[in-house]
C-alpha cells in the first residue's frame, strides 16, 4: 500500500508551515504502508497540478493532504470539501478568488473516503487532541481537498483521499496571544497515528462512533 501525504509551504506572512515540517518528519513506512511525502505550494490550482503529477507518478492507494488551521487546538480530520474558492487573503502567487466555483462541472461537495472517526480515535489514543471537523474552510486547504476528490471523480476512481488540519507551532503564536499551538513532535505523532488508522481500516470503512456536533 502507498499513501501520498502532502504538506503546504509557508503562507500569510509566516516563515514556517507546520504542515510540510510535520510531513517531512513522518516515517517512511507506517504499519507496512509506504509513505510518499510531497511539498505543495499554497497556491490555488497550482497545488492541484503538483498533486496530480504525483498521483500519476506514484499511483498511490490513498492521498492525505495536510494543512495548517491556525487557532485550532487539535488535529482535525476533515469530513467534506465544498466547491468554492473564497480567499480571506491572497495565495502565494497573489491570487485571491472571491466566491468562485472550483470546477463548474464538479459536485457541490465531496465527502472524504478516509476513516475520519478512526483517525480521530487513534490520534487521541496516542495522547494528542483530535476531533472530526465538518469544514475545511474556503482557502487553499479546502481547495486541494476538493481538487483531489474531483480528480478521483473524473480520473482516478481507485484512490481514496482526504484532508487533516493541524494547529500552529508554538513559535508561530509568540505574537498571537491566546491562540492554541502544538509541538511539532506531537503533530508528527498524531499524523502517524492517523495514517496507522487509515491502514488498519483499509477495506472496512470507518468506525461507528460518536463524533457529531451541533454546530
Cell representation of residue 19: 504542515
Please report the pLDDT score of residue 215 as a whole number.
82
Q: Tell me, what CATH number does 138's domain have?
A: 3.40.630.20
Distances (CA, A) of 185 to 39, 180, 189: 19, 16, 6
Cell representation of residue 5: 501525504
Residue 100 lies in a domain: yes
The whole-angstrom separation of Cα 52 and Cα 214 is 35
How many domains, the chain?
1
Please report the pLDDT score of residue 86 as a whole number.
98
State the catalytic residues. Answer: 78, 141, 165
What pTM was computed for the model? 0.97
Cell representation of residue 104: 463548474
Residue 214 lies in a domain: no
Residue 208 lies in a domain: no
Cell representation of residue 192: 502517524
The whole-angstrom separation of Cα 137 and Cα 30 is 29
Upper half-sphere CA count for residue 60 (Cβ side, 13 Å)? 26
Residue 58 lies in a domain: yes
Residue 205 lies in a domain: no
The whole-angstrom separation of Cα 75 and Cα 123 is 8
The whole-angstrom separation of Cα 40 and Cα 52 is 11
Q: Alpha helices, DSSP H only, in 26-115?
A: 46-58
Please report the pLDDT score of residue 90 as a whole number.
98
**Nearest in space to 67 (alpha carbons), one of 6, 112, 119:** 6
Residue 70 lies in a domain: yes
Cell representation of residue 96: 485571491
Q: Low-confidence residues of the chain, pLDDT below 50?
A: none
Structural domain for 10, as ranges: 2-200
Number of residues that make up the chain: 215
Amino acid at each position: 500500500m502507498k499513501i501520498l501525504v502532502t504538506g503546504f509551504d509557508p503562507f500569510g506572512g509566516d516563515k514556517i508551515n507546520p504542515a510540510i515540517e510535520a510531513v517531512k518528519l513522518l516515517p517512511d513506512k507506517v504499519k507496512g504502508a509506504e509513505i510518499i511525502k510531497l511539498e505543495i505550494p499554497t497556491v490555488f490550482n497550482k497545488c492541484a497540478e503538483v498533486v496530480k503529477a504525483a498521483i500519476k507518478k506514484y499511483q498511490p492507494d490513498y492521498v492525505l493532504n495536510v494543512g495548517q488551521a491556525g487557532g485550532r487546538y487539535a488535529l482535525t480530520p476533515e469530513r467534506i470539501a465544498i466547491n468554492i474558492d473564497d480567499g480571506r487573503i491572497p495565495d502565494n502567487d497573489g491570487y485571491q478568488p472571491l466566491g468562485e466555483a472550483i470546477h463548474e462541472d464538479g459536485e457541490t461537495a465531496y465527502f472524504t473516503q478516509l476513516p475520519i472517526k478512526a483517525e480521530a480515535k487513534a490520534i487521541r489514543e496516542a495522547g494528542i487532541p483530535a476531533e472530526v471537523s465538518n469544514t475545511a474552510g474556503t482557502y487553499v486547504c479546502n481547495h486541494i481537498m476538493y481538487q483531489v476528490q474531483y480528480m478521483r471523480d473524473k480520473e482516478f476512481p481507485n484512490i481514496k483521499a482526504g484532508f487533516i488540519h493541524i494547529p500552529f507551532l508554538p513559535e508561530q503564536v509568540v505574537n498571537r496571544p491566546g491562540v492554541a499551538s502544538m509541538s511539532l513532535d506531537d503533530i508528527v505523532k498524531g499524523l502517524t497515528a492517523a495514517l496507522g488508522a487509515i491502514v488498519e481500516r483499509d477495506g472496512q470503512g470507518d468506525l461507528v462512533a460518536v463524533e457529531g456536533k451541533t454546530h
